Amino acid sequence: MSTDVMIYANGLTKRYGSFRALDDVSFEVRRGEIVGFLGPNGAGKSTTMRILTCFIAPTSGVAKVRGHDVFDDTLAVRSSLGYLPQRAPLYLEMTVFEYLRFASQMRNLDGDSFKKRARNVVEICGLAQSLSKEIRQLSHGYRQRVGLAQALIHDPPILILDEPTSDLDPNEKAEFLNYLKQIGRDRTVLLSTHNLKEVESACARAIIVSRGRVVADGALDEIRAKSGRVHYVVAVQESPGSAPYRGKGAAPKGSEVEQALTSLRGAKKVVEHPTDERAHVFDVAGEEGVDLRPEIFRLVADKGWVLLELHRDTQTLEDVFRQLTIGDERRNRRIGPVSAEGNEDEDEDDEDEEDE
């Protein structure tokens, strides 16, 4: 009866005048997935979420939530969503309890189910002490909790959270992410953030947007592998110190080691890291699929140097993120006074650039 695709977006484009906030964004989120929606500020995360929650309409493209179009069938879409907008805008003059009751009335919860849900939600969000406080008096972190509570009160199958953790302290964050993992088993969660650690701890999948486009979409491992680069860290002892070199071995000069490493087959780039006097530390960039570690060990052993450290650094999500989102500066988001066809050409050029 039900399908797996809970959120479906195809070719979403949003233009503000000549500014392209979103440019052909397509993705889908299935039931039971917690998807991190990543991107630098102004990349179009909030815009996408606003489209999915029927707050604004896309200039072109289709978005569906549980198979219902966000434009034609907004009530069905909105009633299956729990949404926390950025910075949790709430009615400051209401108390937490009043606000939750208001939200539950809008969601058509009757008194009994409201009490039941509220107890649950208040516990999850740690609001028990603040129920009778005016929202105005709460700190940003607590306001965010109220925003979360409001999004959870009707137990929605889909949660769309726009930077839900931005104002929480580290403990709260961890707690919240844990809770997300729990409820995410049979629900669908799309959460935007620029904190990559959160994504790594809560999400199995991430969608990275940059300048209005999806630049990566997939399991975290896939995304990590996307840049296709592997780094090796090599540390060679420099000064004999208390453990002198044996035999003919002598402490090598930095340039010597660098030269040797550069000459290795498969080593692309060698960079020396600044360290203290006891060791030369180099960062060797290698190709994916080729393991350089045996080569490096043999090289060091042949030379008779002392190897202090050798390890392979897999790409962190952070690296990928930076790589995917920073290198994008060139792309022109403004649509000048060009004809419609001119624009399309421009679009295609852009894609070519990205493929490189």
Partner 1 sequence: MSTETTLEKDEEKMPLHASAEESSDDREQDAEPSERKSSRRDASEDAGSTEKIILDRPSSAKMIWTVAKREIASYLQSPITYIVISVSLVVLGLWFFLYKGGFWQIDRASTTRLVESVPYGLMFLIPLFTMRALSDEKRVGTIELLITMPVKDSEVILGKYLGSFVMIVIGLALVCLYPIAMFTRAPFWHLGELDWNPFWVGMLGLCFFSAAGTAVGLMWSSFTESQILSFFATLITLAVLYFIGQVSIVELLRGWPGDAVSFLSMQTRFDPFARGIIDSRAIIYFLSLTVLCLMVAFRALESRKWT
CB environment 242-264: b (16+ within 10 A), e (fewer): eeeeeeeeebbeeeebbebbeeb
Question: What's the burial of 113, exposed, middle or buried (CB within 10 Å: 0-12/13-18/19+)?
Answer: middle
Residue matched to tokens 């990566």:
216
1 binds partner 1 (CB under 8 A): yes
240 binds partner 1 (CB under 8 A): no
342 binds partner 1 (CB under 8 A): no
CA distance 245 to 300: 13
- The residue within the footprint of partner 1, chosen from 54, 209, 267, 320 (CB under 8 A), is 54
Stretch that binds partner 1, among 48-56, 122-130, 304-312, 326-334 (CB under 8 A): 48-56
Q: What is the DSSP string of 39-79?
A: --TTSSHHHHHHHHTTSS--SEEEEEETTEETTT-HHHHHH
Amino acid identity at 238: E
CB 16, CB 58: distance < 8 Å: no
Restricting to residues 14-33, which ones interact with partner 1 according to CB under 8 A? 16, 24, 26, 28
Restricting to residues 147-186, which ones interact with partner 1 according to CB under 8 A? 147, 150
CA distance 139 to 87: 12
Helix (H) or strand (E) holding 182: helix 170-183
CA distance 79 to 107: 7
56 binds partner 1 (CB under 8 A): yes
53 binds partner 1 (CB under 8 A): yes
85 binds partner 1 (CB under 8 A): yes
37 binds partner 1 (CB under 8 A): no
- The residue within the footprint of partner 1, chosen from 42, 67, 304, 342 (CB under 8 A), is 67
**Nearer Cβ to partner 1 (62/174):** 62
Q: Shortest Cβ distance from residue 233 to partner 1 (Å)?
A: 40
Which residues sit at the interface with partner 1, rule CB under 8 A? 1-6, 8, 10-11, 13, 16, 24, 26, 28, 50, 53-57, 60-62, 64, 66-69, 72-73, 75-76, 78-81, 83, 85, 87, 89-94, 98, 102-103, 105-108, 147, 150
